[in-house]
Amino acid sequence: MDDIRALCFHKQAGTVWSFDKTYNLGKLYVTVSVYRNIVLQRTGSESSPTYIGPLLIHGNSDFETYNVFFSHLAGRLADCRFSELRMGSDEELSLRKAMAFNFAGVSLVACTRHIKENLLRNAHKV
């Protein structure tokens, strides 16, 4: 949580704290959070490594389930200014709704890779 405080809570220079739900884990899902450690740079590529943050193992993917998770995280980060935070995800409405509900003033951003994949997957329907 200290890394997230230090690296994600600066809207202009900080990194995005991203969340993504994985599938095909039997009856359970895992929602993983990641962030880039912008303090470190790889030699050669000069890119920052991606770190795994808090994760949620759950059976339901509804607002109530995500609300419990994000409420806990918001409580642990209550001393931070949520308006300085950018949180990212795909287009899953219940996930995004719980983020906005628990982190008042947060900037929600969408993952361009997920949007592109969804567009390509669903373009034939239009």
Residue 115 is predicted with a pLDDT of 67
pLDDT tens per residue, range 1-53: 999 999 999 988 889 999 999 877 788 999 999 999 888 888 888 888 899 99
pLDDT tens per residue, range 72-90: 999 999 999 999 999 999 8
In the chain, how many domains are there?
1
pLDDT tens per residue, range 41-59: 888 888 888 999 999 999 9
CA 83, CA 107: separation in Å to the nearest integer? 7
Average pLDDT, the chain: 90
Residues whose CB is less than 8 angstroms from the CB of residue 71 and which lie 6 or more positions away in sequence, other chains included: 102
Q: Which residues is 36 bridged to in the sheet?
A: 50
Helix (H) or strand (E) holding 101: helix 93-102
More confident residue, 119 or 110: 110
Question: Length of the chain in residues, anyone?
Answer: 126
Residues 91, 97, 99, 104: what is their CA dihedral angle, to the nearest 10 degrees?
Answer: 130
CA 103, CA 37: separation in Å to the nearest integer? 21
For the chain, what percent of residues have pLDDT higher than 70?
95
Please determine, for residue 105, whether its predicted confidence score (pLDDT) is greater than 90. yes
Domain that holds residue 94: 2-125
What is the pLDDT confidence band of residue 114, given thresholds at 50, 70 and 90?
low
- CATH number (domain holding residue 50): 3.30.420
| Beta strands 86-89; 28-36: pairing state | unpaired
